[in-house]
């Protein structure tokens, strides 16, 4: 029996799953934590991978890594980081993103060039920040990698073996702001402009099922990808499926046959891990909203759900704008969270609990609307992530999104997608192997949609009041 390992190197931890290459059955799994913060040592990811992969990677015939997108890993000429890696959720580069948009002719130019308009999360904006605020580190930067690139390189022996060529894939490269999904090429002119004339080396973009090398122990190493493309591969999404992931951040994405170029900047025109495309809208605030509300109210997440069920739909006008960490969609990097519509009779734990759940979902529904506007067909939502394990979240999602919501069995879908890619590479087939999907629950949207519309209308009024200030 051939076995494959999939790695999910996320913001919070490293997860490794060992799977049967033919069936996708998870045979073993482990995890190790990552340090907190929006700037962390890249070496800590490698240490976590070695810890989580101990006893698993040596049993695998092939391995692939799916990692958090956008992060900046700047390496010197010897392959060592010049500073801590800047993660996707580090917003110090927000002003740099705005500068780049203005300097090069506006958002339409960027959308046409690379499929996306730069935001603080994008690597290209982080390079501009580094050039302007830490020029000594920028001068030492010989090569720029993404988190998954760095770990794939380390698995193959870099930097101790200088013959190992760093690689990336089209899914992760499409989140940099200097690689075009439409043409499949780097825009080194944009890279140089952002980095104030510097032209660091970039990883080669490998094909979807390409083997990029082997580990020192002999396991085949697949190209890997970014976390969202990994989850899409792990879920096996079909036409009409929209994935909404409610992790630390929230994402809404789907598979598309053609590249997108949204000049509003809301839709990131990413590529996927199969050769197609992955238009995606991201919010910075999702499950963290529920965690913070539960802590405020002195309960765990199950207690938060119990409280929320005690309040009526719409929380009698109480609205939470969940911008606890700024926000990416809408683009409000310096915003803060707020509660609206409080009265003596609604200043209750139950109403605040329900407003937290509804606010989180309304924020994601706004993101979903951007995909609707450009005509992407939607038949159902696949709801994943930590917050999707709440039955109330699934029920309210069906109301607020106005779509059937399918909740797959809780699983490490990013790691599972990486494992599926490793199996694809190992087998050498034209398409990824067919692994069965497992549905935990399905919730249909109410036929009239009235409750969801009322919740969203009240939320929209509160959000517009924020803009008016």
Closest CA to 268 of 259, 279, 284: 279
Q: Mention every residue, 6+ apart, whose C-beta is less than 8 A from residue 11.
A: 34, 68, 87, 88, 89, 248
Q: Which of 84, 149, 227, 272 is catalytic?
A: 227
Q: Tell me the angle at which helices 94-103 and 107-114 cross, rounded to the nearest 10 degrees.
A: 90
**Is the preceding omega at residue 330 within 30 degrees of 0, hence cis?**
yes
Asked if 456 contacts 359 with a C-beta cutoff of 8 angstroms, the reply is no
Using alpha carbons, list the distances in angstroms from residue 280 to 9, 107, 116, 323, 372.
20, 17, 10, 19, 12
Kindly report the backbone phi and psi dihedral angles of residue 93, in degrees, each rounded to the nearest multiple of 5, phi listed first: -95, 15
- The whole-angstrom separation of Cα 354 and Cα 351 is 5
- For the chain, the C-alpha Rg in angstroms (whole number) is 22
Handedness of CA 309, 314, 376, 168 (dihedral sign): negative
φ, ψ of residue 181 in degrees (nearest 5): -65, -30
CB of 64 within 8 A of CB of 433? no
Q: Which residues contact 102 (CB under 8 A, 6 or more apart)?
A: none
Residue (of 462, 414, 18) closest to 248 by Cα position: 414
Report the C-alpha gap between 351 and 307 in whole angstroms.
Answer: 8
Q: How far is CA 394 from CA 85, 230, 277, 373, in A?
A: 35, 23, 27, 23
Please tell me the distance from the alpha carbon of residue 324 to that of residue 334, in angstroms, as a whole number: 10
366 counts as catalytic: no
DSSP-based three-state secondary structure for 99: helix
Are 425 and 223 in contact, with CB atoms under 8 Å apart?
Answer: yes
Phi, psi of 215 (to 5 degrees): -75, 165
> Which residue reads 């092939």 in tokens?
62
Cβ neighbour number for residue 239 with a 10 Å cutoff:
10
Beta bridge partners, 332, equal: 327
Q: Give CA–CA dist 282/173, Å, rounded.
A: 17
CA 324 to chain centre: 18
> Which of the residues are catalytic?
227
């Amino acid at each position: 029996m051939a076995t494959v390992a999939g790695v999910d190197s996320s913001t919070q931890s490293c997860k490794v799953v060992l799977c049967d290459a033919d069936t996708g059955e998870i045979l073993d799994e482990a995890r190790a934590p990552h340090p907190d913060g929006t700037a962390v040592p890249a070496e800590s990811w490698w240490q976590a991978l070695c810890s989580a992969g101990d006893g698993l990677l040596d049993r695998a015939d092939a391995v692939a890594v799916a990692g958090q997108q956008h992060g900046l890993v700047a390496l010197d000429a010897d392959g060592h980081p010049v500073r801590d890696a800047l993660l996707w959720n580090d917003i110090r580069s927000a002003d740099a993103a705005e500068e780049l948009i203005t300097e090069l002719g506006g958002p339409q130019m960027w959308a046409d060039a690379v499929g996306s308009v730069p935001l603080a999360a994008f690597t290209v904006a982080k390079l501009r920040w580094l050039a302007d605020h830490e020029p000594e580190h920028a001068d030492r930067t010989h090569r720029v990698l993404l988190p998954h690139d760095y770990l794939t390189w380390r698995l193959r022996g870099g930097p101790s073996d200088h013959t190992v060529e760093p690689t990336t894939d089209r899914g992760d490269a499409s989140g940099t702001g200097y690689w075009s999904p439409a043409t499949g090429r780097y825009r080194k002119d944009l890279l140089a402009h952002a980095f104030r004339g510097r032209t660091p080396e970039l990883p080669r973009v490998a094909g979807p099922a390409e083997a990029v090398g082997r580990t020192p122990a002999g396991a085949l190493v697949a190209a890997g990808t970014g976390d969202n493309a990994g989850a899409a591969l792990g879920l096996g999404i079909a036409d009409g499926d929209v994935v909404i992931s409610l992790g630390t951040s929230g994402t809404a994405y789907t598979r598309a046959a053609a590249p997108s170029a949204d000049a509003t900047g809301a839709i990131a025109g990413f590529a996927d891990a199969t050769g197609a495309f992955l238009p995606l809208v991201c919010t910075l605030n999702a499950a963290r909203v529920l965690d913070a509300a539960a802590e405020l109210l002195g309960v765990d997440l199950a207690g938060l759900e119990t409280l929320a069920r005690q309040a009526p739909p719409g929380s009698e006008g109480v609205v939470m704008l969940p911008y606890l960490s700024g926000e990416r969609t809408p683009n409000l990097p310096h915003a803060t969270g707020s509660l609206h519509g409080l009265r003596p009779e609604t200043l209750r734990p139950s109403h605040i609990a329900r407003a937290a759940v509804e606010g989180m979902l309304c924020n994601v529904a706004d993101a979903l609307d951007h995909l609707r506007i450009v005509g992407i067909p939607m038949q159902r939502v696949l709801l994943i992530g930590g917050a999707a394990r709440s039955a109330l979240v699934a029920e309210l999602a069906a109301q607020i999104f106005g779509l059937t919501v399918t909740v797959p069995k809780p699983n490490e879908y990013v790691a599972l997608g990486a494992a599926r890619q490793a199996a694809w590479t190992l087998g050498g087939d034209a398409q990824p192997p067919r692994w069965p999907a497992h549905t935990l629950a399905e919730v249909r949207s109410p036929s009239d949609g009235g409750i969801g519309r009322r919740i969203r209308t009240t939320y929209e009024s509160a959000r517009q009041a924020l803009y008016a200030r």
